[in-house]
Amino acid sequence: MRYRLLSALAAASAAIVADASPAASATYDYIVVGSGPGGGPLAADLARAGYSTLLIEAGTDQGDNPTYADIANFNEAANDETTRWDFWVRHSDDAARDLKFKHTTWDTGDGTFYVGLDPPPGAKLLGIQYPRAATLGGCAMHNAGVCSLPAADDWDTIANRTGDPSWAADNMRKYWKRIEKNEYLPAGDASHGYDGWLATSVADMSWAKNDSLPETRILKKLAELTGQNPDDVASLVNRDILAAGKDVDETTSFYSMVTHADNQGKRSSPNNYIRATLADPAKYPLTVKLNTLVTRVVFDEATVNKTGTTPRAIGVEVMEGGSLYRADPKHVANATGPVSQILARREVIVSGGTFNSPQILKLSGIGPAEELAQFNISVVADLPGVGENLGDNYEGSILAIGAAPVNSGLITLLFRTPSAPTKKRNIFTWCGAFSFEGFWPGFPTDYGPNEYTCAMVHMAPKSQAGSVRLASADPQDRPAINFRFFERHGDEDLRELVEGANLLRASFAAAGAPAVPLVEQHPCANGTDCTDAAQAEFFKLQAYSHHATSTCAIGGDGDRMAVLDSKFRVRGVRGLRVVDASAWPVVPGAFPSCPTMMLSAKAADDIIADAKQEQAA
């Protein structure tokens, strides 16, 4: 069998054989830019529907590399220069405040990084690392694989803002059932899927039956603190976190953590679905082009800036070669590649992710007119929302060092803090013998076998004030990214984080001998200065994130900041859509990877329905 795959370099995975044809000037029905949770499944779905589809990826295929294929290696994967793109972001407009972030990263000039608050003389400030993955399958190839679904309100928000009932939570569940291949429940659960392309599994939680373990004691104390029955914890920890049902978003409970991996610990991601589509005997018309950087969307000049016409996207301009984007640590200064254009008969779909999709739109003339003018980019569509509305989950952790190891499994708990503005849960936490304090080159810090952490994800953050803006008109440059943490309703979000930390901390002493005392490292260093105000200041300075969304947000016709309509179509132009995490108008739950795969499945339905309607006309 021969795979229809184009590669600019011979660096493509050995598992995929490059085909010398079609030529770079070929025309496809659809061009999809980016192979992550949004674009990868969408390209496969379009090809399986019979449409010739080109999927463009700036990186290589690492599907057979154990660093990525084995889900347990996720820390190594996120640090690996084979696929890593380093974005250096800001958390606020206050430079002095950002310099208090303990893991601020600097370029020493000798090929190494310095991470910390006291850089050596001459070191160049880089910022706060936000690693992304340039590889077939996108960031679903380097994440920890945690799979959770949005609250019903997150779906209903889109339905209400756009007036499109197809976004209602009750309707969206079908997309989860379509893509899931559940490997942890008996077949027949009507809320799950068993024949999809995305394997889901859970860890063995039998350790919770052993009352003599320090972590079982912590587990029971957490049950008491959250109104659950301590005698039932061995059962509660196996509760399905992806279950559907009334009031599920308001239920405080332990759960089994689901990952998008199979029962053998092998990562399941868009990479698997893309490769299965390429290998299928049905010979679906999917072509994958690796090591290719999209520089802009190409428009039919006859439709641009002409009275009575709407600009139409007809293809993309690409630069071919490996490590061309300057976020790639392997990038060689002044390296470029040959530039060409590839055409689409039907549509171009941008799926570059929350940072790169708005950058590509702006480089193509779609975005805030004033910003485009700064870089002498001709305006195709003045859309002020492109690159704005950047949001993320706030994340923080309570880290302690015990007198002895607290070895067992992982406690997963979703709960509501007292000051949460609604009845919905607002904290997703997981506790265990690990260390996680955010991202920097070489993360995480290993505190030894006695380390114990409860990591928190704050759901439904109230501030989405961040932005992704051009640093230049050069498509090889990174954009300027500022999350503006806590800028809106920050005191409320910080109060919820502190309340979450206080509840979790109250369980540590229950670990008992020989693990106690668990000496806290942060936010209350060595158990001192543990006032709510001190903790809030800690989280304000040290919170981190890695679930960026919403920079090309879906919205209603009357919303001037809406970039997309309810069918993912870019407003003000034709033949162009955005399908990835940037499309979310609000941050979807605690982890966006699986929700974005659902979003991708919906986009496939919308695009195919439009194509059939056009064909029938």
Mean pLDDT in consecutive groups of 10 residues from the start of the chain, 617 residues: 33 34 70 98 98 98 98 98 98 98 96 96 97 98 97 97 97 98 95 97 97 96 98 97 94 98 98 98 98 98 89 98 98 96 98 98 98 98 98 98 93 98 97 97 97 98 96 98 97 98 98 96 88 97 98 97 98 98 98 98 98 92
Q: What are the tokens at 262? A: 């199979």
Sign for the pseudo-dihedral over CA of 119, 122, 128, 130: negative
Q: What is d(CA 60, CA 394) in angstroms, rounded to the nearest whole number?
A: 31
DSSP annotation of 12 reads S
Q: What is d(CA 577, CA 597) in angstroms, rounded to the nearest whole number?
A: 16
Instruction: Specify the pLDDT at position 19.
Output: 36
Q: Are strands 576-578 and 467-469 parallel, antiparallel or unpaired?
A: unpaired
Neighbours of 410 (CB within 10 A): 16
Instruction: Specify the pLDDT at position 527.
Output: 73
Q: Are 544 and 535 in contact (CB under 8 A)?
A: no
Instruction: Specify the pLDDT at position 319.
Output: 98
Element (H, E) at 157: helix 152-162
Q: In what order do the strands lie in the sheet with 84-89?
A: 84-89, 124-133, 105-107, 113-115
Q: Which domains does the chain have, with CATH numbers?
A: 5-66+269-390+549-616 (3.50.50.60), 200-265+391-468+491-542 (3.30.410.40)
Which residues define the annotated binding site for FAD?
Answer: 143-146, 294
Can you tell me whether residue 180 is helix, strand or coil? strand
Q: What is d(CA 523, CA 431) in angstroms, rounded to the nearest whole number?
A: 15
Q: DSSP per residue over 327-385, as a string?
A: TSTTPPTT----EEEEEEEEEEEE--HHHHHHHHHHHTTEE-HHHHHHTTPPPSEE-TT
Q: What is d(CA 509, CA 507) in angstroms, rounded to the nearest whole number?
A: 6
Element (H, E) at 578: strand 576-578
Residue 492 phi, psi dihedral angles, 5° rounding: -70, -45
Exposed, middle or buried by CB within 10 Å (0-12, 13-18, 19+), for 446? exposed
Among candidate residues 509, 456, 514, 511, the one with its CA nearest the CA of residue 216: 511
Among candidate residues 453, 588, 568, 449, the one with its CA nearest the CA of residue 521: 453
Q: Report how far apart, in Å, the C-alpha atoms of 366 and of each of 23, 357, 369, 370, 383 are.
A: 28, 11, 8, 11, 6
Q: What is d(CA 90, CA 329) in angstroms, rounded to the nearest whole number?
A: 19
Among candidate residues 447, 449, 407, the one with its CA nearest the CA of residue 431: 407
Instruction: Specify the pLDDT at position 307.
Output: 82
Q: What is d(CA 59, CA 132) in angstroms, rounded to the nearest whole number?
A: 11
Angle among Cα 611, 41, 310 to the nearest 5 degrees reads 40
Q: Are 285 and 47 in contact (CB under 8 A)?
A: yes
Element (H, E) at 222: helix 214-225
Sign for the pseudo-dihedral over CA of 206, 209, 215, 220: positive
Q: What is d(CA 296, CA 474) in angstroms, rounded to the nearest whole number?
A: 10
This prediction's pTM: 0.95
Taking every pair of Cα atoms in the chain, the longest distance, rounded to a whole number of angstroms, is 78
Angle among Cα 603, 42, 313 to the nearest 5 degrees reads 75
Element (H, E) at 532: helix 532-542
Exposed, middle or buried by CB within 10 Å (0-12, 13-18, 19+), for 353? buried
Which residues define the annotated binding site?
Answer: 143-146, 294
Sign for the pseudo-dihedral over CA of 258, 264, 267, 269: negative
Q: In what order do the strands lie in the sheet with 258-259?
A: 180-182, 198-202, 258-259
Instruction: Specify the pLDDT at position 23.
Output: 46
